Amino acid sequence: MAFSEIEKKNIRERLLANCEESWSTFGYKKTSVDELCQKAGISKGSFYLFFDSKEDLFCQVMIEVQERLIAIAKRTLTKTPTKHELAETLKLVFREYSSVPFLTETQSPDFVMFINRLSPEKLEELEEHGSYDIQDIIRESGLTYRIEEQKGLSALALIFRPMNANQQLPWDYLEVFDFTLDTLIEKIFE
């Protein structure tokens, strides 16, 4: 079946959105190409007009999520942000990051299975897109450190590690994250 360019664009976007939703809900293994195609309104044979494989689709979803995180940072940081503006940007990035389970559960058997099925080229592509991180956002802010840079970056990296689903705090997790981030920002930067 021939699709117009607009149909191709819309179908591709639906496949990506449906994959991200299903992957977040059910995991890599339980997300089937058949179901994604059905939701997108195409046959399984048509799927291969858009992606080479299931892994290719999932890889593209990872890249799009990574790009979304970068876009949040670039959109919200001014050219010369204050430490408080940096904190607000990091809060937005964290909320998006922690809302995507497959980004935060990279040690799970499901995620490991996905990574193990990627070609060396796809792994390299993921690494290239995933190389921009919190440290880059902070460096680009141009803020002056009160403490050793590596110590500050390590403290911030520590709070960016989402909690396991079975870990609980006696207070709202995001409120505690915000409090901890605000406190660290005051201690780390001039």
pLDDT tens by residue, the chain, 190 residues: 689 999 999 999 999 999 999 999 999 999 999 999 999 999 999 999 999 999 999 999 999 999 999 899 889 888 889 999 999 999 999 999 988 988 888 888 999 999 999 999 999 998 888 777 778 888 888 899 999 999 998 999 888 887 665 567 788 888 999 999 999 999 999 9
The answer to whether the CB of 22 falls within 8 A of the CB of 61 is no
Helix (H, G, I), strand (E, B) or coil at 130: coil
Domains detected in the chain: 1-51 (1.10.10.60), 63-188 (1.10.357)
Whole-number pLDDT of residue 157: 87
pTM: 0.86
Joined tokens for residue 21: 């939703």
The answer to whether the CB of 21 falls within 8 A of the CB of 52 is no
Whole-number pLDDT of residue 50: 96
In angstroms, the CA 73 to CA 77 distance is 6
Which residue has 């990627």 as its token pair? Answer: 118
Q: Find the farthest-apart pair of alpha carbons in the chain and give their distance in angstroms, rounded.
A: 62
In angstroms, the CA 117 to CA 166 distance is 28
Helices 83-98 and 173-188: angle between axes, nearest 10 degrees: 150
